[in-house]
Structures are given as C-alpha cells and as structure tokens.
Amino acid sequence: MSDDTDDGDAAFERELASARAMLADGDDVSALYVGVVRGDRANSTTARRSEGEQARLETLTLLASHLRTVADEAGADYDAVAADAARLAGRVDELPADHADGTGATGSPEGNGAPTGDGSDPDPTDDDG
C-alpha cells in the first residue's frame, strides 16, 4: 500500500467516524440523508420528522449542503455540480420498496452516478452533450 492510500484510508475512517457521531445522538435530528457507494452501486436514503413545507425546506437544505460539499471537494463551481447532478438524476433507478434493508433507497447501477463536478459530460459516450 502506498502512503497516499494509507492517508486516504485514514481520512475516510475519520470522516466515517464523524458521520457516525452525527447520527449517534439522533434525538434532535429532524432530517438526514445518507448515501453509500459499494463497488458500482450507489444507495441512498432520507428521513425526516417534519411534514409539509418544513419537510420540503429540510430536504432542499440537505441537497444544497451535499452539492456544496461535492463542489468544494472537487474544486468546482456549485452551478456546474448542480447541473451535472440534475442531468444524472434522470439516470438513477428506483430500487423496489422491498429493498433488502427496507429503506426503499435509490441507487445507480450504472456505476457512473457521481457528478464530475467540472461541468463536463459525465458520460462522453452518449449523445446528450
């Protein structure tokens, strides 16, 4: 293993521990989004306690926060990441409601479900741009 891989593994473990800590005290959590990539499959789920307009605002806030994180990590413009994400959203398949973990999570079986973040076409082999 290279030092870069070791550093990446350590950083991943720190971020994973941070995510677990955020969820550990769920008493005051009103909404959450969790996404996991395993091999070529991405699964995600959301949960919220609120309803109506508050639920919509919380969901959009989670989306905006996620887009900012992706853009910041990629060193890309928020608008480019949002455009890539919107284009890819049409390619994400809905898993059956009886998904193994019962979440009804969404997934991307194509394995290219992550935005490039630079405004480029994530799949240059298709004809959409």
Q: What's the pLDDT at 8?
A: 86
Strand runs labelled E in 41-83: 41-48
pLDDT, averaged across the chain: 75
Q: Is the model more confident about 36 or about 127? A: 36
Across 41-48, average pLDDT: 87
Q: What are phi and psi of 14, to 5 degrees?
A: -65, -45
Residue 51 pLDDT class (50, 70, 90 cuts): very high
| Percent with pLDDT over 70 in the chain | 68
Query: What is the tens place of the pLDDT at every residue in 87-126?
Result: 888 777 654 433 444 444 444 333 334 433 344 444 444 4
Given a cut of 90, whether residue 67 has pLDDT beyond it is yes
Q: What are phi and psi of 25, to 5 degrees?
A: -105, 80
Q: What's the pLDDT at 83?
A: 93
Q: Maximum distance among all alpha carbons in the chain? A: 50
Q: pTM value?
A: 0.58
Domain edges within the chain = 34-129
Range 62-68 contact pairs with CB under 8 angstroms and sequence separation of 24 or more? 62/31, 62/32, 62/33, 63/33, 66/33, 66/35
Given a cut of 70, whether residue 64 has pLDDT beyond it is yes
| Residue with tokens 């996991």, as numbered in its chain | 36
Query: Does residue 19 contact residue 66 with C-beta atoms inside 8 Å?
Result: no
